[in-house]
Structures are given as C-alpha cells and as structure tokens.
Chain A
Amino acid sequence: MEALSNKRKVMEAKPLNFLERIYLPAIFQGLAITMRHFFRKPVTVQYPEQTREYSENFRGLHSLKRDENGKERCTACGLCALSCPAEAITMTAAERQKGEEHLYREEKYAAVYEINMLRCIFCGLCEEACPKEAIYLDGPHVTSDYLRKDFIYGKDKLVEAPLNQ
C-alpha cells in the first residue's frame, strides 16, 4: 500500500545484540543523562513567595470598575447576568438617593451584586456584554476556600478600591 506521508517508520523487532544485552552501556548512558539534569537549574517556582506572571489575555477574578471620579460604573442593567452561560451572576438593583451622587454614576445602581465563583467558567461573556465597561476579568485567579458559601463573592470583594484612599 502506498504510504500517505513519508513519516511512516518501519519498526523491526530485532533481537538485542551483545552490548544491549549486558545493559551496561545503556545504564551508563542513562546515568550520564540524569547527571546532566542534576546540575541543571531547577524550574521550581516557590509559589507563595514567587508567583508566575499571568499572560496578557488571562481571564481571572472579576472586578467592578469605577469611573474617573471614583463612582461605580455598574447600573444593574442585568446584561451580564443574561449573557452568563453558567448563570453565575445575580444582582439587585436600587435607585440612587439624594446625596449619593458621588458613589454611583447613574440613577440606578447594583445594591447587591454576587458572582458564584464555583459556577463561573471565566468565559468573559459578561465583560463583552457590559455596555458601561463596568466589569472586567482582570484579577488574579480565585483562591481556594473551605465552604461553598464563601465562593459567592459580593460587592465587598468585587468592586475596585475607591480612588483616593
């Protein structure tokens, strides 16, 4: 049969010759290889002290952004929750009261905004859906925890730190 590519290699089960049968040359070859590795620099990253850099398009923990005046951008329109394939996002909208203009950019804001990190698949569709550029997956990865309830991240963990603090 004609070979489809020239990559095919015919293997033969040849009986071992004398040098192969006494194992020793192969053993010394192997010892030399491991000795080369012995002096090689370890590739270990000492995790808690050192961390590897994330790649530029890494999608990690969500953050809810503020605008240039430090006001929350999110208007609780619900598009992110709608776009979420894993149904990880829930929110409760509230109306901005008098005196809160410095906190929220528009008249409506998210009083409660929760993402279930066990459901989230970090696809980034919420980021794409958001009309207000309020949510970005630009954080680190989500750390482990002991209880399921602790994986539901509220606004305390998601909203960016205020500007002048």
Chain B
Amino acid sequence: MELADIIIKFVLVVIIFAISLLIALYSTYAERKVAAFFQDRLGPNRAGPWGILQPFADGGKMFLKEEIIPASASKFLFIAGPSLSIFTACIGSAVIPWGQQLTIGGHIIDLQVTDINVGVLYILGVVSLGVYGVMIGGWASNNKYSLLGAIRAASQNISYEISMGLAIIALLLVTGTLSLRQIAEQQHGFWAHGWFTWNFFKQPLGFLLFIVCAFAETNRTPFDLPECETELIGGYHTEYSSMKLGFYLFSEYINMFVSGAVMATLYFGGYNFPFMDLIHSPNLVAILGVVALFAKIFFFIFFFMWVRWTIPRFRYDQLMDLGWKALIPLAIANIVITGIVITFLNR
C-alpha cells in the first residue's frame, strides 16, 4: 500500500469518527427539539440561535460535573464499562460504505474505511459486544438497580440478536454476499428487471424484524428497559455521573447513527438513489450518493425519536414474549418463504 493510500485511509477514519461524534452530539439536541415539537412545545432555544449551542453547553456541563465512583464499586470495571460502550459504538461504522468511489487527481478513493468480505458478520459482532459495556457498568456499580438494568440489557440483547441474525440470513439468501459494499452495489438505482432494486421491497418482513431488533439493540423506547426510569431509577447507569454518564448516553446516539446507516445500507439501497444513472459525472454521483445515504440515516434517526415519543415502554414479560414467541418464529418463517421463492424464481 502506498503512503498516499495510508494517508487517505487515515483521513477517512478521522472524518468518519468526527462525523459520528458530531451527529451524536446533535442527535441529543434533535431529540430534545423533536420531543418538544411532538408535545406542542418549543424545546431548547436559549443557547445560541434556536438553541443550536445547547449540545456544547450540555457537554461542558457533563465534563464539569463531579465525578463519583461509589466506594463499594469495582473501580477498574466501573471505568471500563462506559469506555467499552463508547468504543464499540464507534468501531461499528468502519465497514459502512459511505459512497461510491471518488477520483481526485488520479487517486481512486473508496468512501469506506475497509471493505471486508464479512461486513455483515462484523456488524453483528460489534452489536453483540455493545452489551458488554452496559453489563459491566451495571454490574460494577454494586447497586441493585444497576444490576437489574444490566441483567435486563444482557437478556434483552441476547434475545433480540437471535431474530436480528435470522432476519439477516433471509437477506443474505437474496444478496448472496456478506460484503456491505457488494450489497450496496446490488441495489444500484431504484428500478431494474421489473422490480425495485432496494432490498426493502424484496424483504419487507425481514426489514420489519430488523428494525424492531435494532430498537431493542440500541436500548431505545419501547425497549429501553435497561434504563427504565420508572422502575430502576436510571437502570445500569444509576451510579454514573459526569462524563462517564455522558459516554453512556453518547454511545446510545452513536449506536442509533450506526444502526441507521446499517439499515439504510442493507435495506434501503445505501448510497444509491433513483435516477442516478442519468448523471454522467462519477464524482457527482458519489457525492450525491453520500448525501442520499445521510438523508436516509437522518430519517432513521428521526424515526427512532418519533417512535420514542409515541409508544410507551413494554413490560418485561411482554418484551420476552415478543422476542421469543413472535419475532423468532416470524424470522424463521421468513427464511423458509424466501428460500422457496428464490428456488422458484431461479428455475
């Protein structure tokens, strides 16, 4: 690999890291604004015009708050919890293809940090690592509410990972590849061979299962039982203060961003957009593709918030019922039906 390629990759990593942090930062602001609009209020509007400096004020507050580590807590694990949480949240975006190739001065730049051929598996792996941060943090706090939140998070994530994996298996039957770049390329344009190219139109049930599981994996309402304020005070982060709490909250928003990107890539065509073949400049197509992908991601983030301010939280037994008795059988049925249809169509 040339030096220039290494520098380009490095710059790309930094840009993606900065963008995911920036989006997470402004997701907190967007969440408050969206919540306010859904409740006929105005939301934060004092810090800067329309309150756009609010996230910086919140972040500054988080840094300046007193840092408390409970005397009976395990200090190493107590710090490891939020660190792991934010770490796993940040590495998920490494395999997302952000756009087609850009050509600048003879250099071909892949708008993707790394195109590994098991990208989907990598995402699943990172997602299942994500629960360790919550679990370790809740357990290390030595607090019954934290522990209950951690247990809930662990069992919830394990339950919903199964149906998420099964939903992806049905998708893999359609795509035949695990590489996110190839999955995105297969969904080129919008319409081809008499049917939509986007996987959502080939796997509507799979997408439904996937998005429900994505809500559960990111601990968003209606599946936010790990932090369930009404029952568990703050859940797994009851004992956390200062920026360690900030990291937990922050990783939730980064997770939302990444899962939005994954859903857009797997089911909604990634960086592809309708009528993209009518534009002849490849660089322009690539840039518009990045814009299209981010528009889809922002829609998903908005959808996450929309659902949060609409649906109340599930009861824990209902959550388990839904996960084991509804989603897993549906996912298996989806695999069987997909398999039959593909065999029938290929004949």
Contact = CB atoms under 8 A, between A and B. Distances in A.
Contacts of A40: 40
A99 B80 CA distance: 82
A42 B40 contact: yes
Contacts of B39: 37
B37 A30 contact: no
B41 A44 contact: yes
Interface of B: 34, 36-42, 306-307, 309-311, 326
A34 B39 CA distance: 8
Nearest to B322: A23
Contact of A34 (B36, B41, B42, B306): B306
A103 B311 CA distance: 67
A35 interface: yes
12 contacts: A22-B326, A27-B310, A27-B311, A34-B306, A35-B306, A38-B37, A38-B38, A41-B40, A42-B36, A42-B37, A42-B40, A44-B42
Nearest to B312: A30
Contact of B311 (A30, A38, A44): A30
Q: How large is the interface on A (under 10, 10 to 19, 20 to 34, 35 or more residues)?
A: 10 to 19
Interface string A103-120: 000000000000000000
B73 to A, nearest CB: 37
Interface of A: 22, 27, 30-31, 33-35, 37-38, 40-44, 46
B307 A31 contact: yes
Nearest to B330: A22
Contacts of B34: 38
A42 B41 contact: yes
Interface centre among A22, A41, A44, by most B CB within 10 Å?
A: A44
B306 A31 contact: yes
B37 A33 contact: no
Interface centre among A31, A34, A46, by most B CB within 10 Å?
A: A34
Contacts of A35: 306
A30 B310 contact: yes
Contacts of B36: 42
B310 A43 contact: no
A43 B38 CA distance: 12
A36 to B, nearest CB: 10
Contacts of A38: 34, 37-38
Contacts of B307: 27, 31
Contacts of A27: 307, 310-311
A160 B273 CA distance: 70
Nearest to A42: B42
A37 B40 contact: yes
Contacts of B306: 31, 34-35
B311 A43 contact: no
Contacts of B309: 34
The 7 closest A-B pairs by CB, nearest first: A44-B42, A30-B310, A34-B310, A42-B42, A34-B38, A38-B37, A43-B40
A29 to B, nearest CB: 9
Contacts of B38: 34, 37-38
A33 B310 contact: yes
A37 B41 CA distance: 10
B41 A43 contact: yes
Contacts of A31: 306-307, 310
Contacts of A37: 37-40
Nearest to A45: B42
Nearest to B314: A23
A155 to B, nearest CB: 37
